[in-house]
Amino acid sequence: MSLSMHQASAPVFIQGLNSLVVVLDKGAAHIEAKSLDHAALLQARLFPDMFPFIRQVQIATDFAKGGMARLAGVEVPAWEDTDASFADLKARVERTIAYVGEFTAAQVDGSEARDITLVRRGETSHVAGQAYLLQQVLPNFYFHRTTAYAILRHNGVELGKRDFIAAV
């Protein structure tokens, strides 16, 4: 039995996003318990030239929603990056879970060879659907999700592998 494009995308994103909800909840609880500054943790970085925590979460959700939309051949929804709190980020992640969950196998399966057009920094490129998912979307999704986890962990939030994996 082969693995379909839908099986390799939607459930993977949903599991990862569900774990991000757990991580966000623990981050918010840590701030409350320690009476810390929310804004400081939302803007925390692992290194000065890296994006802050809040942007890592936004990018992870963007890759999940954008990946699914492009694989299905539909317009990628534009979401404003106006999140300003853990509650805002959690709502964004939950909205992404709902969005990803709307895609059926019929919409995504067979997209292995679909021409995906990407525009980055004014440069247009084309990539086949399977390469797009496996070589761009999933690695970026995991990178930004992992970095968000690492920022919170680095700042004292008690997180472990179970929180990152959040198996269903």
Domain region containing 77: 10-165
Does 90 map to a domain? yes
* Distance (Å, whole) CA 114 – CA 108: 10
Does 4 map to a domain? no
pLDDT in tens, 135-166: 999 999 999 999 999 999 999 999 999 989 87
Does 72 map to a domain? yes
pLDDT in tens, 26-48: 999 999 999 999 999 999 999 99
**How distant, in Å, are the alpha carbons of 24, 58, 71, 116 from that of 135?**
27, 20, 14, 13
Sequence-distant (≥ 6) Cβ neighbours of residue 42 within 8 angstroms: 52, 53, 54, 84, 85, 86, 89
Does 19 map to a domain? yes
Specify the number of domains making up the chain. 1
Amino acid identity for residue 64 in this structure: A
Q: What CATH number did the domain enclosing 31 receive?
A: 1.20.120.450
Joined tokens for residue 143: 């990178």
